[in-house]
């Protein structure tokens, strides 16, 4: 398999200014795998769920070309559950409830078929769990991309840094880049973080787009100004899924190609926020994705006379 995706497959209950859901399917790996599946059909999923998880959604993933061999189903246990409420500006949210359930003792097991994956996407998880996946690989992947969050910076910074040192691309948001580096300037923050190990840093800025840094260059991908952001949940994971999906498809990990990958990731994320949960991410096709990418091109295109 060419792409291994590790992360949570879970339930969310979401409240936004536009509405409210009961338990719906969520989890970093759900968004990542779905988004990536529009670019490659060679995806392995490593995750854990309880026996309360809907078979329908697993079938959707299977039909999208995602192999489930690495998905552990814990009998008599419950899937991870998160509940949150977004503020009116949709840029901030309160966590209402977190039930770790099966995620509390998640011990990922990479199936043999996935141990030679060329691309590895580590969704947000305990840093030591992310590391254990890297250590199970037969060959070091061509590219390891890692997501994480401020929570691990608060409670497990040293452990987190060990994992960061092992990856090629770190994808975090602007507040997290500032926290991780201790620097307010994102340019300075990027250089500090790149000295921690990764050769590339992606800084996600939500409605303000994303920045791509290596030690010499910087690229700015805008976010599409949207009429309506309905539910931001999963936008960052979808972005990561589109990013690594595009790279897996093209098998080109140059900085130039990563620019394209970021545009595709941003395009995928712009779909996700239009509906609750994974709803909008289902039933896309190459044509609507290309059209969305074209909107990004037009958004930033200008010619100097």
Q: CB of 305: closest distance to a copy of itself in angstroms? A: 7
Distance of CA 299 to the CA centre of its chain: 24
User: Which phi and psi angles does 299 have, rounded to 5°?
Assistant: -65, -35
User: 129 with 106: CB under 8 angstroms?
Assistant: yes
Q: Does 283 bind a copy of itself (CB under 8 A)?
A: no
Contacting a copy of itself (CB under 8 A), which of 96, 128, 187, 288? 187
Among 3-11, 30-38, 110-118, 225-233, which window interacts with a copy of itself (CB under 8 A)?
A: 225-233
Nearer to a copy of itself, 11 or 86 (CB): 86
Q: Count of alpha carbons within 13 Å of 173, Cβ hemisphere only?
A: 16
Among 56-64, 65-73, 85-93, 148-156, which window interacts with a copy of itself (CB under 8 A)?
A: 85-93
Among 25-33, 83-91, 231-239, 266-274, which window interacts with a copy of itself (CB under 8 A)?
A: 83-91
Nearer to a copy of itself, 48 or 247 (CB): 247
Q: CB of 279: closest distance to a copy of itself in angstroms? A: 20
Show the beta-strand stretches assigned E in the chain.
3-6, 10-16, 19-20, 24-26, 43-50, 66-74, 81-86, 93-99, 119-122, 143-147, 169-173, 200-204, 210-213, 218-221
Q: Among residues 84, 137, 87, which one has the least CA distance to residue 109? A: 137
Contacting a copy of itself (CB under 8 A), which of 139, 155, 286, 297? 297
**Angle made by CA atoms 241, 245, 249, in degrees to the nearest 5:** 180
Q: Residue 225, SS3? A: coil
Contacting a copy of itself (CB under 8 A), which of 62, 140, 188, 215? 188
Q: How far apart are CA 153 and CA 146, in angstroms?
A: 14
User: 122 with 167: CB under 8 angstroms?
Assistant: yes
Question: Binding to a copy of itself (CB under 8 A): which residues in 202-221?
Answer: 205, 208-209, 211, 218-221
Q: CB of 253: closest distance to a copy of itself in angstroms? A: 14
Question: What is the binding site for a copy of itself (CB under 8 A)?
Answer: 88-90, 184-188, 205, 208-209, 211, 218-222, 225-229, 250, 256, 259-260, 263, 293, 297, 299-300, 302-305
């Amino acid at each position: 398999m060419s792409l291994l995706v590790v992360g949570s497959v879970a339930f969310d209950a979401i409240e936004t200014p536009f509405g409210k859901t009961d338990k719906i399917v969520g989890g970093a790996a759900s968004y990542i795998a779905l988004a990536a599946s529009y670019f490659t059909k060679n995806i392995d999923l490593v995750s854990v769920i309880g026996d309360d998880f809907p078979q329908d959604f697993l079938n959707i993933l299977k039909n999208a070309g995602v192999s489930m061999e690495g998905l552990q189903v814990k009998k008599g246990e419950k899937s991870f559950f998160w509940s949150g409420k977004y503020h009116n500006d949709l840029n901030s949210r309160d966590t209402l409830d977190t039930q770790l359930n099966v995620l509390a003792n998640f011990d990922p097991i990479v199936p043999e078929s996935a141990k030679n994956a060329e691309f590895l996407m580590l969704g947000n998880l305990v840093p030591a769990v992310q590391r254990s996946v890297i250590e199970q690989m037969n060959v070091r992947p061509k590219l390891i991309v890692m997501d994480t969050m401020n929570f691990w910076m608060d409670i497990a910074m040293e452990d987190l840094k060990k994992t960061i040192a092992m990856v090629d691309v770190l994808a975090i948001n602007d507040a997290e880049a500032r926290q991780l580096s201790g620097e307010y300037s994102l340019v300075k923050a990027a250089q500090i973080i790149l000295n921690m190990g990764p050769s590339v840093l992606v800084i996600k800025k939500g409605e303000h787009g994303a920045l791509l840094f290596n030690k010499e260059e910087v690229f700015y991908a805008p976010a599409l100004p949207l009429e309506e952001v309905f539910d931001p949940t999963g936008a960052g994971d979808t972005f990561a899924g589109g990013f690594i999906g595009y790279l897996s498809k093209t098998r080109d990990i140059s900085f130039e190609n990563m620019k394209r990958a970021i545009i595709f990731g941003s395009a995928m994320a712009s779909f996700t926020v239009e509906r609750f949960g994974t709803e909008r991410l289902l039933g896309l096709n190459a044509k609507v994705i290309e059209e969305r990418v074209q909107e990004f091109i037009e958004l930033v295109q200008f010619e100097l006379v």
